[in-house]
Structure 1
Amino acid sequence: MAGVLQPVLAGVVTALVGFASSFTVVLAGLRAVGATETQAASGLLAVCVASGASAVWLGLRHRLPMSIAWSTPGAALLVATGPVAGGWPAAVGAFVVSGLLIVAAGLFPPLSRAVAAIPKPIAGAMLAGVLLPLCTAPVRALVEVPALAGPVVVVWLLLHRFARRWAVPGALVVAVVAIASTTPPGRLGGAGLGPVFDPTSPAWSLPALAGLAVPLFLVTMAAQNVPGMAVLTGYGYRPPFGSALRVTGLASMAAAPVGGHAVNLAAITAALAAGPDAHPDPDRRWIASVTAGVGLAVLGLGAGVATTLVLLSPPVLIEAVAGLALIGALATALTAAVAEPDAREAAVVTFVVTAAGVTLLGIGGAFWGLLAGGVMLLLFRRRPERPVPPDRRSEPEQGEKPERGRSLESAFGAARTDGAPRD
């Protein structure tokens, strides 16, 4: 019994932290691309159930702690993208296509390797540009609603210092108390208690596919699946990457018609289930990821209440909580963006264009930022030096160039889709 209790408790903590730390980002993203209150609640429930079912299946099938979560960077991308041509049905269509691309990456190894080969600085800069608007929300909230935002930020700072994993959930609890204390009781009583599934027939729009589906696929792969794989390999596991992509891609496609945007390997909470705190025996840690999957699906049943509380609050307050949840991700993305001197300018161009949030031809800024950075990198790539004659190779070279920016594939040691890590 003792051998089961520890990973079960670790799984419960993983589910609670994963849900509380970023469900506000999901709701903000779905509302940004046109979802109604009911559709946003449906989408949150859909990604909870899809993530939970995927985690249970993969954990039982492979006996590995393969934690699954919704795409938090993908939800931030929805906020940055805003309304798409064709409205909410077109956004749902983009979710379906993004899931299909994830399945294709699991079926065709060259596609997943191509995504992993995106230069790490460019991928980091695009993600940083997507996250920046949300991460500035705490500052705006302190100016616009200081009485509500001040306690939230103070609690986040204190917990971030002394109990980091509970920082965002603690800030969320303070925000909920603030919302409840400033909302008339009658409005709180109208919160829906039952689960809500609100299906939408997908529509197809070229701007939505280019400006939302493709960036959502790239962000989910580069910022979630590849790092999630790296976390598992770092703990000594050899997870089947192709199987994970196929399962999460199919789950994303199934969740899309009811509002789910994307599910993937967990990167942020993966260590809670895969690390030694889950269980001293690595062969028993899969119990934690399966428990987390069940817990996340159960927590999704309260999506209606969560959505109502979010809608009753000042929008900037919920955005502030979401921004606090993404501060760490922004720091990691910015570090990756400027780490390689040769690609630094191209990364800055990617970041600036993405963060600008411009929409051209109906296509959002993430696509144009990635394109601008790629063009910049190609145009200003330094030519390799001429080979040194054999009789002069022992002489030191003057002005030797630093190593070029590594791709995501080399940086993370991305695994082949058959699950065997690269040597």
Structure 2
Amino acid sequence: MLRPVSAGIISGLVAFTSSFVVVLAGLEAVGASPAQAASGLLAVSVLMGLCSMLLSLRTRLPITVAWSTPGAALLAATGAVDGGWPAAVGAFVLVGVLIVLTGLVPALGALMARIPTPIAQAMLAGVLFQLRLGPVLGVAANPLAVAPVIVVWALAQRLSPRWASPLAFLAASVVIVVSLTAAPSPSAAPPLLPAVELTVPTLTVGAGVGVALPLYLVTMAAQNVPGVAVMRSLGYEVPWRASMVTTGLGTMIGAPIGGHGVNLAAITAALAAGPEAGEDRQRRWIASTASGVVLVLCGLGATAFAQLIALAPEGVIPAVAGLALLGTFVASLRSALAEPEEQLPAGVTVLIAASGIAVAGISAAFWALLVGLALGALLRAGRRTGSAHSG
């Protein structure tokens, strides 16, 4: 019993502390106020904990649910949305609907599977590019505050890579506390108790096409599909329909509270489903259940975490976010360029997504995906024609 519980606690702590900064940054980028962003962090944390517990208890499988860190990074790169924060919330609801439909309608899942993996991963790599500059720009702007965070992260990568991002956040917290000791005391204590901020969803064409569609594709390509693959490699078959319906409904419920969505865990999936959760494979579901409890408790501290982030010196938080996304950026870039025949359209996709341009109120991620798919189709048609003529 002890090993599954301890593995679950580690899984929950790593899942939350490694990238909650990215979640807050993404929500504020698409129009959320600090209070609304804290509410969104509360929503996704509690919901991914509850969904983890529900799926684990129902299936007796170590299924863990997470927020989409790549999805949050996409929001941070997208910026202001046509229609403001209510339209972004409407896009989150639409993503939940699409995920539910993916579980219920096999044809939709088959359609998603036809999108070339290099193009989807290239879009993600381009989206992450600007955020990856955070450590570089931060150390140039504020070296005394940012350099210790980078050093701690680098040493952790050498000694215990799993804890690199959480330890970088811990180092950032120390930097924040030290900086506050030299600052005048605030006249009033900031709010620390969890608070829910409700938003009535609306939906615009720009938000639907420029936010919902890329967010859905990133969630599927970078979270749900790899999450199933990780679990399969560990000998577990994830119930696809139940998982998609559960996480899709969770996304729809959390959207009006500010959450951008929940999905199957990919990076942290092995923490609760691997050997560290005990030799008895039939009892590893206890680890994912314990992870869910930890995530709910972390979510209740969302307002306090958001307040801590708001007090950070210049450059510290972008550096933490950039370091948290480095592994995802490298993996997506490697996957994008893995197939020689797809390298050119994938490269174009990366460049357009990294540009951050918005045309007709629609984000660069959508245009990157559209151009990459079109160029890839054109080149494949040309190769088929050439092969037919040579035959």
TM range (shorter): over 0.9
Q: Tell me if structure 2 keeps the 8 A contact 1:191–1:304.
A: no
1:315-354 to structure 2, matched below 5 A, reads 316-354=315-353
Q: Output the CA distance in 2 between the equivalents of 1:375 and 1:386.
A: 21
Q: Tell me if structure 2 keeps the 8 A contact 1:180–1:188.
A: no
Q: Output the CA distance in 2 between the equivalents of 1:111 and 1:102.
A: 10
Distance 1:228 1:271, change over 3 A: same
Q: Output the CA distance in 2 between the equivalents of 1:234 and 1:113.
A: 22
Q: Tell me if structure 1 keeps the 8 A contact 2:119–2:349.
A: yes
Q: Tell me if structure 2 keeps the 8 A contact 1:116–1:226.
A: no
- 1:311 corresponds in structure 2 to 310
Q: Output the CA distance in 2 between the equivalents of 1:226 and 1:338.
A: 19
Distance 1:169 1:187, change over 3 A: farther
2:67 equivalent to 1:70: yes
Q: CA deviation at 1:44?
A: 0.1
Q: CA deviation at 1:5?
A: 1.1
What letter matches 2:115 in structure 1? I
Distance 1:55 1:71, change over 3 A: same
Q: Tell me if structure 2 keeps the 8 A contact 1:42–1:258.
A: yes
- Bigger shift: residues 249-258 or 310-319: 310-319
1:401-416 to structure 2, matched below 5 A, reads none
Ranges in structure 2 where 5+ consecutive residues have no aligned partner: none
Q: Percent identity?
A: 52
Bigger Rg over Cα: 1
Secondary structure at the residue paired with 1:178? Answer: helix
1:185-196 to structure 2, matched below 5 A, reads 186-187=185-186, 190-196=189-195
Q: Output the CA distance in 2 between the equivalents of 1:88 and 1:170.
A: 32
Q: Output the CA distance in 2 between the equivalents of 1:186 and 1:202.
A: 38
1:233-248 to structure 2, matched below 5 A, reads 233-248=232-247
Offset from partner CA, 1:285-326 (integer Å, 9 cap, x none):
111111101110110111111111111114532111011011
Secondary structure at the residue paired with 2:244? Answer: helix
Q: CA deviation at 1:124?
A: 1.1
2:123 aligned to which of 123, 126, 134: 126
Offset from partner CA, 1:173-192 (integer Å, 9 cap, x none):
11011111112363497232
Distance 1:237 1:372, change over 3 A: same
1:25-36 to structure 2, matched below 5 A, reads 25-36=22-33
More helix by share: 2
Ranges in structure 1 where 5+ consecutive residues have no aligned partner: 390-423
- 1:300 corresponds in structure 2 to 299
1:111 aligned to which of 94, 108, 120: 108
2:184 equivalent to 1:168: no
What letter matches 1:42 in structure 2? S
Distance 1:142 1:388, change over 3 A: closer
Q: Output the CA distance in 1 between the equivalents of 2:77 and 2:230.
A: 27
Q: Output the CA distance in 1 between the equivalents of 2:344 and 2:19.
A: 31
Offset from partner CA, 1:267-294 (integer Å, 9 cap, x none):
0100100111111111111111111011
Q: Output the CA distance in 2 between the equivalents of 1:110 and 1:317.
A: 45
What letter matches 1:298 in structure 2? L
Distance 1:201 1:278, change over 3 A: same
Q: Output the CA distance in 1 between the equivalents of 2:314 and 2:37.
A: 15
Q: Tell me if structure 1 keeps the 8 A contact 2:138–2:314.
A: no
The normalised TM-score by structure 2 is 0.96
Q: Output the CA distance in 1 between the equivalents of 2:67 and 2:114.
A: 23
What letter matches 2:66 in structure 1? A
Offset from partner CA, 1:310-352 (integer Å, 9 cap, x none):
1111453211101101111111101111111111000001000
Offset from partner CA, 1:110-133 (integer Å, 9 cap, x none):
212221221111011001011111
Q: CA deviation at 1:193?
A: 2.1
- 1:366 corresponds in structure 2 to 365
Q: Output the CA distance in 2 between the equivalents of 1:362 and 1:51.
A: 31
Q: Output the CA distance in 1 between the equivalents of 2:67 and 2:186.
A: 29
- 2:254 corresponds in structure 1 to 255
What letter matches 2:351 in structure 1? V
Secondary structure at the residue paired with 1:383? Answer: helix
Distance 1:187 1:104, change over 3 A: farther
Secondary structure at the residue paired with 1:180? Answer: helix
